[in-house]
Amino acid sequence: MGVAFQTGSIALMAWYKAFFIVTCWSWGGKLRKTSMTTTAISKRIEKLPHGLEFISRGTEATGQERVSPTEMEAMVMALIIAGSDTTATLLTGSVYLLLKNSIILRMLTLMLRTQFHSSSEMTLLALQRQEYLNAVLKEILRLYPPAPGNLFRRTEKEGHVVMGEIIPPDTCLTMHLWAAHRSSLNFHAPDDMAPERWFKTRPAEFEGDYRATMKPFSMGPQGCPGRE
């Protein structure tokens, strides 16, 4: 939702920011929401069975894995505003694509069960080191982007040059994510699920893939914090 809202067609309307400032996205509403979130998190932590939910896993961890109360509040706010429907969409796409590609599902299952003997070993840092897991997730994001709309930008007052074309000042520019991810100009066999295209050492047929095209989290100052 966060990425879709910022980059979707509504952003093409010059008045949209002013509209939301004077309505539901007022500072008063934002402050009330922050206060409600802080209270809800505090109550949730007090009632949690230790180690059973991601909140307790984060607050009870040690070292780099530990999440402070302030960080947890910010993270939950991001999940409420921008991460609820997008996360659900990504999980739906993951189940759908893995069930359609049983070989990839078996390889991923074998990798996880071989590398980890219990859920407690599946820390964020440990999962980040799993090349095949991350390749599968990137391929799912390519084929099933949670916010498949347009990446929106507007040229500055001096204009801009895009792909050799002079674009006038204050011009709206967009790139449709789903189309870019599925284009044969950017990816070999674009409709196939092929996690190996994201390996550091990838097969020869994927050497020509323009991987920088994939921007499911947008980019720059308007990039979605969910990427991290």
Residue 208 belongs to domain with CATH number: 1.10.630.10
Per-residue pLDDT of the chain (228 residues; tens, 9 = 90+): 444 444 445 555 555 556 555 555 454 555 555 567 777 777 766 665 554 466 666 666 666 667 777 777 777 776 776 666 777 888 999 999 999 999 999 999 999 999 999 888 988 889 999 999 999 999 999 999 887 667 778 888 899 998 899 999 989 888 888 889 999 999 999 999 999 999 999 999 999 999 998 888 777 666 665 565
Q: Domain count of the chain? A: 1
- Domain annotation covers residue 70: yes
Tell whether 224 is in a known binding site.
Answer: yes
- Domain annotation covers residue 92: yes
Q: Phi and psi at residue 194, in whole multiples of 5°?
A: -135, 85
- Domain annotation covers residue 202: yes
Model pTM greater than 0.85?
no
Q: Within 10 Å of residue 103's Cβ, how many Cβ atoms?
A: 8
DSSP states of 39-94 as a string? HHHHHHHHHPPTTSSHHHHHHH--GGG---HHHHHHHHHHIIIIIHHHHHHHHHHH
Q: Phi and psi at residue 118, in whole multiples of 5°?
A: -155, 160
- Domain annotation covers residue 46: yes
Which residues have a Cβ under 8 Å from the Cβ of 101 and sit 6 or more positions away?
A: 193
Question: Which residues form the domain of 167?
Answer: 2-223
What's the rounded Cα separation, in Å, for the pair 132 and 106? 12
- Domain annotation covers residue 228: no
Burial class (CB in 10 A: 0-12, 13-18, 19+), 83: buried
- Domain annotation covers residue 155: yes
- Domain annotation covers residue 62: yes
- Domain annotation covers residue 9: yes
